[in-house]
Structure 1
């Protein structure tokens, strides 16, 4: 009887040790698996940057010179698509990003005069407030904005007011151009807005 009891105790001890060893091994294997997965994720090749040319409102660039001042404008081109734009899609009396996606930016490599008012060299976000009889052109000191969601008026460097005009031909995609005589032209649908740039 004593021998049977002794054998049972020995068997229980062996089974306990075996179970503990198995549990430790499984834990270590899981830890190694997690480490491998983490390392794999860390070494994973980042996704390629978005191809902005495939956006519904693709990027565009307008460049030109006024005297020896270089002007570069980066913007996006939304389409009319049969809609009424100003006063509807783009409400009157509200801040507009002047394009789509990221806020439009305009860069001057030298100090300029905008409609006779001085603006120092630099890169600005270009916002507008459209109205039927007058537009406000805004140069804001923060060029890294998405749309006008975080626009702050206190960061404006300059505001000027200009008169819009009506065109007979439809401009399907919003277009900005640097034209001769230092005129910056904004055109979309049947609306055209210009402001004059000269060297300071």
Structure 2
């Protein structure tokens, strides 16, 4: 009798464990099917990490005849003053958050009238109250601007920012005249051909 009771209890526990495992698997499948890994938004692709403070994003398009891809993390304004405060003037900035922003060109291009070979570059800017320095650095894989070294610069150009409508999240757009960085109340158009 005692052996039969043990056998019945073992079957009951095994059944409950299988039921719990099946329910957990069904819940996981429902969650992964309900949330796609990549969500296209026009020419911008935002990854599946939208709950993060600065989610990863990619902007793609053509500038002249070159295909351009910009990978960046997109911080938000969140009521802060960005230019000259959160992003200090006269200092190298990663032009995003987390890893350094990267820009890839499949062909050689002209940026603000200066030649830049095809490749992938870390993208930095030095904002000031007037003209900004835009930097394409050969050391593409780096965290922020902490390891930035100007000896690896492939190109530096000067660009003038302009006032723009409020943009809560940092956004890049690739258009036929070039690339535009937008954030807070400013945009930085960079001519790329």
How does the TM-score come out when normalised to structure 1? 0.71
Are residue 176 (structure 1) and residue 157 (structure 2) matched?
no
Is 2:97 the partner of 1:100? yes
Q: Equivalent residue for 1:137?
A: 134
Per the TM alignment, residue 53 of structure 1 is displaced from its structure 2 partner at its CA by 4.2
For residues 92 and 49 of structure 2, the distance between their equivalents in structure 1, rounded to whole angstroms, comes to: 24
Quote how far apart the aligned CAs of 1:183 are. 2.0
Structure 1: distance between partners of 2:113 and 2:182: 22
User: Which deviations, in whole Å up to 9, do the C-alpha atoms of 1:132-191 show, x marking residues without a partner?
Assistant: 111100000000000000010110000000111112x210000110023x2210111001
Does residue 193 (structure 1) correspond to residue 179 (structure 2)? The answer is no
CA distance in 1, matches of 2:52, 2:137: 25
Gaps of 5+ in 1: 1-50
Within a 5 Å distance, the mapping from 1:1-200 to structure 2 comes to 52-167=49-164, 169-180=165-176, 182-198=177-193
**Structure with greater strand share of residues:** 2
Asked if 1 retains the 8 angstrom alpha-carbon contact of 2:64 and 2:192, the reply is no
Q: In 1, distance between residues paired with 2:100 and 2:51?
A: 18
What secondary structure sits across from 1:78 in the alignment? coil
Deviation at 1:111, TM superposition (A): 0.6
Separation (CA, whole Å) in 1 of partners of 2:120 and 2:72: 13
Aligned CA distance change for structure 1 residues 192 and 67 (closer, same or farther; 3 Å): closer
How far apart in 2 are the matches of 1:140 and 1:159?
A: 9
Cross-structure match for 2:44: none
Aligned-residue Cα RMSD (Å) equals 1.1
Greater helix fraction, Structure 1 or Structure 2 = 1
Show the counterpart of 1:8.
none
- The TM-score with structure 2 as length reference comes to 0.73
